Amino acid sequence: MAENALITFYFEDGGLVRKPANEARAYLQSKDWMSVYLEFNHPVTGALVQDSFTFYPAKEHYDPSARPMRYWIAEHQGLPLRVPSEISFWTIDTNHSPKTSFKTVPQKTCVLVRGEYVSVAFDLDVHCRIRVPADAPVPIQLA
């Protein structure tokens, strides 16, 4: 990751703030939640799922056998969804088309199918734009 890489955080009200990568993790962990748009084919039903999912940046998980090894987790109808918590994953090359803001993260998990657990694998397309709650506005000083 380039030393001058910026991570852009989008607010619910349409605003945004850009933070250098070396400050982005602390900024993100100061937030109660973050929202990320995901697309995937549900491994059990085959249905295309396209939605924003809530993750909790202070709750980072680590599993040396998983890819990614460090991740945040959400769920869809009991299906765990993991996105990398490494800040370098969230950088976007602004010199290319908007499609480059999507990155694919392979997922492996077990799901319950007809009374037994079955291992499944599927690709999770992650839109690398993080939505966070707006920062508290700075009070205006009236003379």
8-32 pLDDT, tens per residue?
899 988 888 999 988 999 999 999 9
User: Over the chain, what is the mean pLDDT?
Assistant: 85
Both tokens of residue 71?
A: 């991740």
Secondary structure letter of residue 12 according to DSSP: T
- Give the pLDDT confidence of 95-139 residue by residue, as tens digits: 555 556 899 999 999 988 889 999 999 999 999 889 999 875 544
Q: Which two tokens stand for residue 112?
A: 């319950």
Q: Among candidates 78, 79, 70, 85, which has minimal Cα distance to 108?
A: 79
List C-alpha distances in Å: 74 to 15, 20, 61: 25, 26, 11
Q: Is the pTM of this model over 0.85?
A: no
User: Are the beta carbons of 83 and 126 closer than 8 angstroms?
Assistant: yes
4 — pLDDT class (breaks 50, 70, 90): low
| Complete DSSP assignment for 93-121 | -TTS-GGGGEEEEEEEEEEEETTEEEEEE
